[in-house]
Amino acid sequence: MMHAARQALEYAASALGFSGTGVAAAHVPQGHYLQQWLDNGMHADMEWMQRHLPARLNPELVLPGVRSIIILTYEYAGTDSRQQSGRIARYAQGEDYHKLLAAKLADLDETLQFYGGIQRCFTDSGPVSERFFAMQAGLGWIGRNGLLIRPGKGSYCFLASILTTLELPVSTPMRNYCGSCHRCEEACPTQALHNGCCDSRRCLSYWTIESKQADIPPDIADLLQDRMYGCDICQEACPWNRIQHGRERRIDPHLLMPATLAHTPLQQLAELQDEQFRLFFSQSPIRRIGEKHLQLNIRHLGGNSHKDF
């Protein structure tokens, strides 16, 4: 029965555009990595990470009776489509992935309900250690940049999770194939990466997206170069993102950068205010940082913090 449920899940997930499906046991010990990361203050001011720690370490607090954790991958573009200055992290070039994947996860929830399962679904939005369970589910390994790396596919993908009360057949974890490569660590301009650990206090993505502080420290701002939102340097440096095994990755058109965003000059983006900003980025994950944060990022591009937009 549970083998049939997993087969149905994999078939439905593939039909919905997910590129990979894996299953891990819900109560696999996660070790002390996350606790140490928090104790060292590497989460910066993302206090929600600390608040949700008990649930992350114990999925039973998220879904009582949980037995399995399903992890799914969904591809996004591995190329930069921005035609003007002001680079945008590849994951944020198209529509907001939270909304896009939520409907697909709801369909998979219905599939599992048919087999008697109770589920909770998340897309980078709940207290689930998705990368850890993706590794346990045999989808890839955690690279030195802290991201899930998949052989032949690299790291340009979203992760979604489904906690279920069904005891599905589990996948076999994959070994780490980073070997002696340290290219991501060497490429990081702020030296935020250390042996699979990312120090948010030094991370360009953190400062241009997550930070709630009034300004960006000068030593960080000077290294933004042309990055307006997020950073892909460690992914660009990874050899696994350059390997193509005879086929192109299938990218959902909704995740491709619209022409308006690709071609609108930086000056015009900096001048967007209130309703203009909300309308321009209505479908984009960039909307959530607000125009003030975006303007702050733009002011610092190229280390030119004196710009007045």
User: Mind telling me the catalytic residues?
Assistant: 124
Q: How far apart are CA 292 and CA 284, in angstroms?
A: 16
Strand 227-229 relative to strand 87-88: parallel, antiparallel, unpaired?
A: parallel
- Determine the residue type at 304: N
Helices 2-15 and 97-113 sit at what angle, rounded to 10 degrees? 150
C-alpha of 143 from chain center:
14
How far apart (Å, rounded) are the C-alpha atoms in residues 221 and 217? 6
Joined together, the tokens standing for residue 306 give: 């004196």
Q: Which residue type, as a one-letter code, is found at position 252? A: D
- C-alpha dihedral over 242, 248, 252, 255, to 10 degrees? 30
Enumerate residues 6+ apart whose C-beta is below 8 A from 42: 197, 198, 199, 200, 201
Phi, psi of 194 (to 5 degrees): -145, 105
Can you tell me the distance from the alpha carbon of 126 to that of 92, in angstroms, rounded to the nearest whole number?
Answer: 19
